[in-house]
Each structure stands twice: as C-alpha cells, then as structure tokens.
Amino acid sequence: MALSLFNHKFCPKRLKDFTFSKITSSILQSQLQYTQYYIKETKSYTIDNMIIFGTDGCGKRARAHAFLNELFDIPDICKQIDVKRYTLRYKNNKYEYSVLISPYHIEFNLADHGVNDYYIIKDYIKKISGTKNVYTNSPHIILIPHFNKTTLKAQLFFRRTMEKEIKNIRFIFTSSNLNIEKALLSRCVLIRVSSPSLKKIKSILKKIISNQLPEIKKIVSKSKIDKMLEEIIFQTRQQSPSIYNLKQSIHILQLSINHTDKSFNLYVDPNMKLIYNLNKIIKNTKILKKSVYENINSILYELYTNDYDFQNLLKHLVFNLLESNILKNKTVELIQKSSDVSHKMAIGKHSIIPIQGFIFDIMQSKQQLINT
C-alpha cells in the first residue's frame, strides 16, 4: 500500500469521520443510497464508475476505501487485502505486476508501469472479463489510483471496457487533475475532494500528537507546538501558497515523533533545509558579493545532485518572495519572470541555468530597490 501504516492508522474508516470537504462525503453517501436501491432490486452491489479527483495527499483513496467500507458494511477493507503477482509475456518481453485483491475489490497502481500500463491492464481485464465477483455475486470493483498518470492508450482501453463489461466491471479512479481522455470523463461521476485548510491540517496533526504523545503538553508549550506544526505543513506546500499535502504532513509528523524518549523534534527534509537557506540568503542579503553567489551556486548544485525537482524549487522561491514582499509589490513582474523560467525548464533546457538566472535577477532587482 502507498499509505504508511502510521498514516493508515489515523485515516477515517467512515465517510462521516472526514472533517474537511464534507460535500465530497455527502456525494459519496448519495452513491451509497443509489447502490442500496440496486441491492434491494437486483441483490447486486452495483455502483457508478467514478473519478475522485483533488490535489496530492488530500485523501482521495482514503475516501474510496471509506466508501467501500460502508458499501459492504465492513470495518476496514485494507486489512483484507492480499497481494497477487502475475507475469505477462508479450512480443518476447516479460512484464511482472502486482495486484491488491480483497474479497470486495481489486486495486493496483498502473502509473508504476509507465508505457507498459496498457498491456498490463489488458492482460488483467482478460482474466476477469465475462465474470462477476464470486464473493459478492456483483460486478468487480476496480480501484485505480493516479489515473491521470496512465497513458492515453490505457485510458482508451478503460473506456472500451466500460462499454463492453458494463454488467461485470465497475471502476473507481483517483486523480490529481482531470487531464483525462474526454470521452472517458463523460462516462464517470466526477467527485472533487477539496484540499484541507492550514487550520484543518493543524487540528488533524494535533489530534495525532495527542494520541501518540498525550504527555506532550507538559513538555512543550502550545506556541512551540503550533510553530513546529506550521514548519511541518510548510514543507508540504504544493501548487499554490494555500494548498498543502496532508498525507505528506502526516509522514513528516511521524518522523518528528520520537517514541523512544517521548519527545517531539521537528524533522526537516534535507532538501528543504537547503531551500530554507536559499530563501534566507535571498531575503537577508543587502550587498551582493562573490561569496553570496558562491553560496547560492553551492545550494543549487547540491539540490541538482539530489535530483530535486527544480519546478518545485521555483514554486517555493516565488511563494516566499510574494509572502516577504521583497520586490515591493512587483507581483506581475515576478510572476512573468517565473513563468518564463518554468517554460525554459519544461522544454528541456539545462534546469540549473534558468533557475540561477532567475535568482540572480531577483537579487539584482532587490539591490536596485535598496539603493534607491
């Protein structure tokens, strides 16, 4: 499973227990009502094909699991999962893939298989086509996470499968966006999970701390805990200043809790330490010196050596520049410059050179503002 055991431990098992994006839970509840009608009429657990979409780490798959828990009235579907491994031979090539199977559903991540995803899903669907789930005597329910990362060829195959196997197979897809084949989108119910707010993530992390370290309030002050939680959440910032990855926040919290001596010490990802230092140099430097350029280049090359995504680095830098207002409200100019740099990196130019130019350009602009 992609979720760590720690993360899964604190994940709600019922839709009503999710404390954010409650409209998503209500839509899934209406899907349950639809299914309950069919159970009475046909004795079959029939569901609509669904696409649950939202930003990374906002709980899409967790809600899909909660939906299945309620659909089949079981405590936790994840505890009933077994891993089955298959081998596919095609044109002298050998592919191996794993499928997560419970008595109630099938789940596997095609995005892990790159361009081979079409051959793998075709091979597996061939094994179950024309049959129903023996355990429930209902259509097979297949959960596919990260669906937007599958190839167009695989998506077209899913569309054909929906048409041909409508009585025997139903899909639940999760996706971080709707960059999906349009005809397939029209065949699914679209359900959006909105991102939790900073305040909501904080409250979730505080509950986990209280559960794991109930005596923490006696050791660490409330203000210090708040500050450390903000640092944890900041590390998981995504596409915009107000969107964060809840799942990743919980992972970092797990690394920050020391169960041996029952303490709470902030874990900072090594790459994030470098980014913090880079932001600090940009913010605090008043006079440009050779040593400043050397420090910046040293950080950039270390991030490059660590294979850090420079598009993410660009986002972090822009968010911090906007928050600190270093360029004195030159927001449009900053966005335009960052857009140009992002485009240069996207079309395959050596990523470290555009980002170097961006940082040095920003620092020179800042220097000019100070001099004036």
Domains and CATH numbers, the chain: 5-192 (3.40.50.300), 198-264 (no CATH), 270-371 (1.20.272.10)
pLDDT recorded at residue 349: 63
At 95, is the pLDDT very low, low, confident or very high (cuts 50, 70, 90)? Answer: confident
pLDDT recorded at residue 3: 45
Is 97 strand, coil or helix?
strand
At 1, is the pLDDT very low, low, confident or very high (cuts 50, 70, 90)? Answer: very low
- Summarize pLDDT for 56-88 with one digit per residue, the tens: 889 999 999 999 999 999 999 999 999 999 999
At 342, is the pLDDT very low, low, confident or very high (cuts 50, 70, 90)? Answer: confident
The owner of tokens 């995005």 is 111
Question: Which residues touch 362 (CB under 8 Å, ≥6 apart)?
Answer: 282, 317, 321, 326, 327, 334, 337
- Summarize pLDDT for 226-278 with one digit per residue, the tens: 889 988 998 888 767 678 899 989 999 988 888 777 788 888 888 888 998 99
- Kindly report the pTM of this predicted structure: 0.83
- For the chain, what percent of residues have pLDDT higher than 90? 41
**What are 343's two structure tokens?**
């485009």
- Summarize pLDDT for 206-234 with one digit per residue, the tens: 999 888 888 877 777 888 888 899 889 98
Backbone CA torsion sign across 129, 130, 133, 134 = negative
Cβ atoms < 10 Å from Cβ of 59: 23
| 27-41, 84-98, 332-346, range with greatest mean pLDDT | 84-98
